[in-house]
Amino acid sequence: MHPRQIAFWFFYGVAKGLAAPLLRLVFRMQVRGRERVPRAGGLLIVSNHISVFDPPILGSFIPRPVYWMAMVELFRHRIFGFLAPCMHCIPVDRQKGDSSAVRIAVRRLRAGDCVVIFPEGGVRNGETSALHGNGEFKGGAAAIALLARVPVLPVVLTNTLAAYNWRNWFFRRTSIRIEFGEPFLMDKLMTREQASDLLLNRMQQLAASLSKSSA
């Protein structure tokens, strides 16, 4: 087994064995729809992105190994540059249409793997979010879904910003919610723009239903 694969399974084991129980202990984790995640076969998970803690929090509750679409800047960092490949991260250049990242993601999906993408292109919250404001919703996720022909599963995260405050890690039990939507297939006759609009609409509906249930 390649050393990076050994490292991946080590980190994956830590996430499943330690991170998820720790998050449930520290925060009031409300995870709904986890049973909707297919345990096998190609799957594209599309999520909003409101804090840098989203990947470890979300990854701890996805019941299968995943690949992550991650900004290329991460790979230039001294520490994260080593860890990113070990965590199955796929580098994405956000400044241009990164066709190589799309090809890698499609190849992984066609091989039956699960890929996670944050289509807002970075951490976005409030008015900068495509779900709750006028933020940009990039078309890469739709392009990958159309090319790979695998189910797309929308996910909405709320209040992961709470993890920024160190006080919330001690006895406050702040709520963090993860809502897994229903997986669906894109119509192969759709244009990239149509597919992207559909995906954004599905995520906005999921976010709206989450807001109603929280009221």
Paired with 175 in beta bridges are 28
User: Do the Cβ atoms of 94 and 72 come closer than 8 Å?
Assistant: yes
What is the tally of helices (H) and strands (E) in the chain? 7, 7
Q: Are strands 28-32 and 89-92 parallel, antiparallel or unpaired?
A: unpaired
How far apart, in whole angstroms, are the C-alpha atoms of residue 88 and residue 59? 12
- What amino acid is encoded at 212 in this protein? K
How far apart, in whole angstroms, are the C-alpha atoms of residue 73 and residue 168? 29
CA atoms within 13 A on the CB side of 169: 7
Residue 146, token pair as written in the block: 């159309």
Output the CA–CA distances (angstroms, integers) from residue 159 to 23, 26, 197, in the order listed. 13, 14, 25
Rg (CA), the chain: 17
Determine the longest span between alpha carbons in the chain, in angstroms.
Answer: 51
Please report which helix (H) or strand (E) contains residue 177, including its range.
strand 175-180
> What's phi and psi for 47, nearest 5 deg?
-130, 155
How far apart, in whole angstroms, are the C-alpha atoms of residue 162 and residue 173? 10
The pLDDT, as a whole number, for residue 79 is 63
User: Do the Cβ atoms of 50 and 178 come closer than 8 Å?
Assistant: no
pLDDT in tens, the chain (215 residues): 556 666 666 766 766 778 888 899 889 999 999 999 999 999 999 999 999 999 999 999 999 999 998 877 766 766 666 676 667 888 888 667 668 899 999 999 999 999 999 999 888 887 788 887 778 898 899 999 999 999 999 999 999 988 888 888 887 789 999 999 999 999 989 999 999 999 999 999 999 888 776 65
The pLDDT, as a whole number, for residue 87 is 75
SS3 40: coil
The pLDDT, as a whole number, for residue 4 is 60
The pLDDT, as a whole number, for residue 9 is 66
The pLDDT, as a whole number, for residue 11 is 67
SS3 91: strand
The CATH architecture to which 3-214 belongs is 3-Layer(aba) Sandwich (3.40)
Closest CA to 157 of 38, 44, 62: 62
